[in-house]
Amino acid sequence: MTSLDGTTAPAPAGAAALGRRLSRRRAGVGGTAARRRTAWAGWLFALPALIMYAVFELYPVLSAIQYSFYDWDGIGVATPAGLANYARVFTEPQLVASILHSFILIAFFSLLPVTLGLVVASITREIRSQFAGGVARTLMFLPQIIPGAASAIAWTWMYSPDGAVNQLLSAIGLDAFRKTWLGDFTWALPAVGIIGTWLATGLCTLLLLAGIGKIDATIYEAAQIDGANRIQQFFAITLPGLRSEIGVCITITVIAALASFDVVFMSTQGGPGYSTTVPGVQVYQLAFTENRVGQSSALAVVLSALVLAIILPLQRLFRER
């Protein structure tokens, strides 16, 4: 080990060095070599996590990439397929449609919850009573602690021909709008989307509330004195102040929309027809029902690339200046 900057001598090995390094550190002086050794010690501490990451994240991802270039039933010997699996992702109409559906779901999983979250958070901010505020926050967050699969089943009942949604429509005299929501070619996808909205709104509200709490209350006071009304305050103070929180909300929910699985799988399985198929469900069915592991991996890789391609520019957009 030699120092590169030439100002410090190579550190002697052994316990003495450790003692010296500690004392030097305490003194607030760090030599390059010592610092480098600290860096290595840091890697050592990270090693267990790195191993877990390599075994349970990197290795599966790399295997999936490898599988995507083969035709494989998961058991027998695979045959190389070149880029055929990728070509099919973009030419099989059902696979293309599933990708389009996941983009439509962004409106329900992401845009609606963030908008609703902003409205609810700004209103909740005004609740003076601590008790009422707490109750409101808890109620809003409740959907977040229910597993997506369970809420999808509950919503399936509500959407059924005699379910809560249709009963409600009848109760307010809108009998003409009654339908079998999840069995309707036009309405199934929005109906599934609403489940996502319900799931994500609580999380967004809570994140945005936390963000609002960080905004200096005196700014609102000053604006009030200057005669700004609530709406003007919202656009001039709240919205710019929540830039990074909105970024987080959008990121999490867009990923949830593009990679959605549980809600769709439990409520419609992609039906009626192919009207609610999404890539997540297709990946599952290709791999585990059809035993087309290669095709499934190719779709999964495309899906991951797609998520990254959308999330990275969003990250840039919401970066705090």
Interface with other proteins by CB under 8 A: which residues? Answer: 54, 58-59, 62-63, 65-67, 70, 72-80, 94, 159-161, 179-185, 269-274, 285-286, 288-293, 319-320
CB of 187 to other proteins, least distance (A): 10
Closer to other proteins by CB, 3 or 180: give it.
180
- Name the residue nearer to other proteins (CB basis): 70 or 108: 70
- Measuring CA to CA, which residue among 211, 188, 209, 199 is closest to residue 113? 199
Compute CA 140 distance to the chain's CA centroid, rounded to the nearest angstrom. Answer: 19
Is the Cβ–Cβ distance between 69 and 81 less than 8 Å?
yes
Burial 169-189 (b: 16+ CB within 10 A, else e): eeeeeeeeeebbbbbeeebbb
Q: Could you check whether the bond before residue 272 is cis, i.e. omega within 30 degrees of 0? A: yes
d(CA 97, CA 299): 13
Query: What is the closest distance, in whole angstroms, from the C-beta atom of residue 183 to other proteins in the complex?
Result: 3
Nearer residue to other proteins within complex by CB, 48 or 76? 76
Answer for the pair 11, 31: CB distance below 8 angstroms, yes or no: yes
Least separation in angstroms between CB 240 and other proteins = 17
Closest distance of CB 26 from other proteins, Å: 27
Give the nearer residue to other proteins in terms of CB position, either 9 or 55: 55
Q: How far is the CB of 163 from other proteins (least distance, A)?
A: 10
State in angstroms the smallest separation of the CB of 237 from other proteins: 23
**CA angle, 156 then 198 then 117, to 5°:** 170
* Distance in angstroms (rounded) separating the CA atoms of residues 227 and 256: 40
| Other Cβ atoms within 10 Å of 79 Cβ, number | 9
Nearest distance from C-beta of residue 74 to other proteins, angstroms: 7
DSSP-assigned letters across all residues of 61-91: HHHHHHHTTEE--SSS--EE-TTHHHHHHHH
- Name the residue nearer to other proteins (CB basis): 181 or 220: 181
Give burial (CB, 10 Å; 0-12/13-18/19+) of 304: middle
Task: Indicate the residue among 24 and 88 with the shorter CB distance to other proteins.
Answer: 88
Closest separation between CB of residue 297 and other proteins, Å? 10
- Least distance to other proteins from the beta carbon of 29, Å? 24
Separation between Cα atoms, residue 310 and residue 22, nearest integer Å: 46
Closer to other proteins at the Cβ: 187 or 220?
187
Closer to other proteins by CB, 150 or 217: give it: 150
Nearer to other proteins, 101 or 292 (CB): 292
Which tokens sit at 165?
A: 């949604």
- Cα–Cα distances (Å) from 1 to 10, 15, 17, in that order, read 6, 16, 13
